Amino acid sequence: MAASDENAPKLDRRVVRTRKAIQAAFRNLVVRQGAEKITVSALAREADIDRKTFYLHYASLDELAEEQGHLVVDRITQVLVVGREPDGITVNLRTVVTELAAMFQEDPEFYRRVARELSVDSMVEALCEPVRQAIVESNPPAAELDQPGLDYLIRFFLAGTLAVFVHWFLNEPDTPIGAVVDHVQRTTGDSHLFHLTS
């Protein structure tokens, strides 16, 4: 019994290492050829595993893609919902786009491919509910607000933020992100893209 207990942590590390290799291979293939063209065989070669090993970890490529999509959505949601204040939620544009830029720079080629393949509308659809949940969880009185109004406000916030950010990321990455924020703030006259009072 003790021998099998000793082997359990090694097995766990092996599983974690293999899953990380599969995930890294998926992201590399997304960069090179796009998610739609990935096959299990190509992924297995890239991860240096066999097809059988892939299926021990994932039921399908769709499951892997969905998992990776959820990870991206979760990271972006965390970045978007920042700057909580006692009387409500304030999202500072400079904070949000600076954090997004830092996140995207962790794997710029992967995020560049994602940003080119997904429309802002599809990004808004993917992020709307997680952001709404995060807002309500961090500010319970938000649950009492007019829900259709809150959803429209969230969509407005997401669409504007993502459109500005994606345009900068794909077309003007040499422009300092702070300069982009300065332009937006001069135009709108406000440093807060989203302000929700309870």
Question: Count H helices, E strands: the chain?
Answer: 9, 3
Write out pLDDT tens, residues 83-104. Answer: 555 555 566 778 888 888 999 9
Angle between helices 120-138 and 61-80 (to 10 degrees): 60
Domain definitions of the chain by residue range: 1-58, 62-197
Closest CA to 38 of 25, 51, 49: 25
Answering whether pTM is above 0.85, one says no
Give the number of other Cβ atoms within 10 Å of residue 29's Cβ: 19
Kind of pairing between the strands at 88-92 and 84-85 = antiparallel
Question: Which is more confidently placed, 51 or 84?
Answer: 51
pLDDT over 60 (residue 172): yes
Find out whether 46 and 40 touch, Cβ atoms under 8 Å.
no
- Topology at the third CATH level for domain 1-58: Arc Repressor Mutant, subunit A (1.10.10)
